[in-house]
Amino acid sequence: MEKLSRSKGVVSFLFRFLRFLIVVGIACALAFWLYAIRPKPEKKQLVRTPPSVRIFEADSRSEEMIVEAFGTVSPRKLVEIAVEVPGRIDYLNPGFLEGGVIGNQELLIQIDPRSYLLGKEAAAVRVNQARADVDSLNQEIENLKTDIELAKDNVSLTQKELRRIRALSKNQFASKASLDKAMQQHLSARVQLQGIQNRLLLIPTMMAQKKSALVMANVEFRKAELALERTRILSGFDGFVLEKLAEEGEYVTSGMTLGAIYEKDALDVEVRIALEQMKWIQAFFSNGRTPEARVSIANFEDAGKGVWKAKVARIKARIDEKTRTLPMTLEIQTRIDDDDNNSSRVSLFDLKPGAFVKCKIIGETRENIFVLPRYLLKPGNIIFVVKNQRLEMRQVSVLRKFEEEVYINGGLNNGDKIISSPLPGAVEGMQLTISQMGI
């Protein structure tokens, strides 16, 4: 029984093993058949293709050397409104507000003028009194001259009478009393004449005093008139109100600041130029000229809508010790778009003091300059050029690097084919294929 079981186990194992061999054989036959019917690949010869590059032709041109700087707009003419006479504000211009528009010779502030009117009238009375005193003294001079003539006639008559009485006294026809009386009358006449002459001699001194008093009265009148005039504060130009510090009805004292105004169309901007940038505009100053400039609001989305003409007005006398830059002032003039429309001088209403602006000072013009994108310049001032379908690493002379451009004034010729596309693994003389033209 035990032997029968063992024989059955062996038979079962052999059956399974045989089935395994059959499956493996079928699989191997199927794999061989698939391998046999596979398509055979074609053999291709490897061909090396030169790298493809994009190029553009070099073209020289005239280029203005621009010097860029930033600055803050400030009024060219800023006037603080201050009181010259004390008093209460009787009138305040409705336009005298921050940002308000004012006209030339427009009344801004009126101080209560009543006390100053009275002062002027009193000064006028003193002038009239002093003038009357001078006229009275002139009339007195004329009267004294007449009195002198009469006194002289009186002296002459008394002298003749004295001579007559003295002759009669010698012949005993006149008494001693008559002679003494005649002598007394003659002496009185002479004393009267001398008194009038003395008074006339004092007249020039008195006249000088009266005229001095008249001059002083006129001075006081002009002072009173000036004080009255100073109660009216007028604008000296067309402009805008920068600051307001007073209200109607407020009492103000001399020297008190009431506000500030600045002139329309008169704005400046101070910029600081690095010394190494001065070489691009130095030629203008050497020839007695000043360079032009363009001013635009910095960080403005549509910069083309807000560009103003300007010019360098003056250069400061000293270099800034901290930044080692040279300060200069630009005078802002007309706006570009209005000037293009043949408009006259326009309002700078949309350019306010305190605006942060970008300034481009237009320097000298250089001829035969190649302006390339800055990224095309390789280390060592190398430009990749295609010549005879091969790469040439050409060294160039760089005049200036400005913003995203580089100015080249040597090493390139018109028509040179400059590579504008990336070229990894570049080797001098390597063969290239031109794919397209353009940067």
- pLDDT given at position 320: 86
Q: What is the pTM of this model?
A: 0.66
- Residue 58 and residue 415 in contact, taking contact as beta carbons nearer than 8 Å: yes
CATH number of the 54-60+369-437 domain: 2.40.420.20
- Give the pair of three-digit tokens for residue 427: 């080797």
- Give the pair of three-digit tokens for residue 286: 């050497």
- pLDDT given at position 30: 75
- Give the pair of three-digit tokens for residue 94: 């409705």
- Residue 344 and residue 368 in contact, taking contact as beta carbons nearer than 8 Å: no
- pLDDT given at position 7: 66
Is 22 exposed, middle or buried, given 0-12, 13-18 or 19+ CB atoms closer than 10 A? exposed
> What's the CATH fold of domain 115-223?
Helix Hairpins (1.10.287)
> What's the CATH fold of domain 265-366?
Elongation Factor Tu (Ef-tu); domain 3 (2.40.30)
Which residues, given as ranges, of the chain have pLDDT below 50?
A: 341-348
CATH of the structural domain 79-113+231-263, one choice from 2.40.50.100, 3.20.20.70, 3.10.20.600, 1.50.10.10: 2.40.50.100
- pLDDT given at position 186: 84
Would you list the domain boundaries of the chain? 54-60+369-437, 79-113+231-263, 115-223, 265-366
- pLDDT given at position 175: 75
Supply the DSSP string of 296-361, one letter for each residue.
EETT-TTGGGSEEEEEEEEE-SS--TTT-EEEEEEEEEEEHHHHHTT--S---TTS-TT-EEEEEE
Give the torsion sign (CA, 281, 284, 288, 292): negative
- pLDDT given at position 23: 74
Question: How far apart are the two ends of the chain, measured CA to CA in Å?
Answer: 98
- pLDDT given at position 1: 54
Alpha-helical runs (H) found in 38-171: 114-170
